[in-house]
Amino acid sequence: MKRSSFLLLGAAALCAPAFPAFADAYPARPITIVVPFPAGGGTDALIRSLAPALSQELRQTVLIDNKAGAAGTIGSAAVAHAAPDGYTLGVATTSTHAVAVTVVKGARYDPLRSFAPVGLIGFSPYVLVARPTLPAKTLAELIRDAKAAPGRLTFASVGQGSLSHLIGEQFKQATRTDLIHIPYKGASPAQTELMGGQVDLLFDNPATLVQQIRGGRIKALAQTQRSALLPEVPTFKEAGLPGFESQLWYGLVAPAGTPPAVVQKLSDALRKALTNRANVAMLQSNGVAPAEGTPAQFAATLSQQVPYWANVVKTSGVVME
């Protein structure tokens, strides 16, 4: 072999990315998970509860950084533009990666191109609840009453353009009813007004509703999927409305360009954390059914969910205030 060939081979070796060596040393310092919602909320509590298990699996400190605002797009954009080295991760949800990018103008990321999917964390259904004095006791009775008096019944949401708003719009389309949307700034004021009878209905996650349901302050009519927190509440399919199955999902992502070996190490740690009995119990106590899957499976979920919710937004005409 000529001397010039040796030089070319040596140069190529020097220029080749040292991903395996980097992955072997990873993680060498604390990892930050960006939660794109305020501290104390459901997503924040879920990730903080899971962080110790991830820390144990990765043998490194896992920190939580709340970057809230603009329906979760501010924190998600921060992850998308972070260094792709595995030390900044983000929580992806149906809201941030399938809804907000459609309804929020100027979101600085592409949910399919700006991230390297690590893995799904779990799924949470949506529950349709009503004020305690609403005459309807079942889903069928509610639909009957709504059709008999178009525009009379109202439904609350946790915010304009939120997932609870969009599911309410889906419900209107699926049942061909005319309900009036009343947006609130968060779950707490929406639930307070519902319990007080100022609004008639609300779609939200079981963990935020279970105490009020069990206390008789609101009543549950149906849920999109069976929940361990509310086993007595029928699914929409069981209550006579098949095909109404939308859920909130949670996942972990890294910036696009993160070395595949690092993504795989993170995915393995997440998978092990999600098989721990204590973590499974913690997730279920928050109304979340643990998920398990590879980065490729999470990517496939995103590829299906993003256009699905974009179509829901388009057909409903929902825009941010």
162: left (phi over 0), alpha (psi -120 to 50) or beta: beta
| DSSP-based three-state secondary structure for 77 | helix
As a whole number of angstroms, the distance between CA 313 and CA 308 comes to: 9
16: left (phi over 0), alpha (psi -120 to 50) or beta: beta
Per-residue pLDDT of the chain (321 residues; tens, 9 = 90+): 444 443 444 444 444 455 565 567 899 999 999 999 888 878 898 999 999 999 999 999 999 999 988 888 999 999 999 999 999 999 999 999 999 888 888 889 999 999 999 999 999 999 999 999 999 999 999 999 999 999 999 999 988 888 899 999 999 999 999 999 999 988 889 999 999 999 999 999 998 899 999 999 999 999 999 998 999 999 999 999 999 999 999 999 999 999 999 999 999 999 999 998 999 998 988 889 999 889 999 999 999 999 999 888 888 888 765
Give the full edge-to-edge strand order of the sheet including 247-255. 62-66, 31-35, 88-93, 247-255, 115-125, 289-290
Token pair 């998978």 is at which residue?
A: 271
H/E run at residue 290:
strand 289-290
C-alpha dihedral, 33 to 34 to 37 to 41, nearest 10°: 20
Q: Which residues contact 265 (CB under 8 A, 6 or more apart)?
A: 23, 26, 58, 86
Quote the tokens at residue 293.
Answer: 């899957």
Q: Count CB neighbours of 234 within 10 A.
A: 16
| DSSP-based three-state secondary structure for 220 | strand
Quote the tokens at residue 9.
Answer: 């081979």
Q: Which residues contact 243 (CB under 8 A, 6 or more apart)?
A: 174, 237
The dihedral built from the CA positions of residue 214, 220, 222 and 223, taken in this order, carries a sign that is negative
Q: What percent helix, strand, coil does the chain show, rounded to 5?
A: 45, 20, 35
Per-residue pLDDT at 105: 80
Angle value at C-alpha 151, between 148 and 152, nearest 5 degrees: 75
Whether omega for the bond prior to residue 30 falls within 30 degrees of 0, making it cis, is: no
As a whole number of angstroms, the distance between CA 212 and CA 246 comes to: 22
| DSSP-based three-state secondary structure for 207 | helix
Quote the tokens at residue 223.
Answer: 């849920």
| Entry pTM | 0.84
As a whole number of angstroms, the distance between CA 111 and CA 134 comes to: 40
Token pair 């809201």 is at which residue?
A: 95
Quote the tokens at residue 7.
Answer: 């030089």
Per-residue pLDDT at 19: 54
Helices (H), ranges, 60-111: 73-80, 94, 100-103
- Map out the domains of the chain with their CATH numbers: 28-124+247-316 (3.40.190.150), 127-223 (3.40.190.10)
Per-residue pLDDT at 77: 97
Q: Which residues contact 100 (CB under 8 A, 6 or more apart)?
A: 70, 71, 72, 73, 76, 107, 161
- Which residue type occupies 115? F
Q: If you count them, how many residues does the chain have?
A: 321
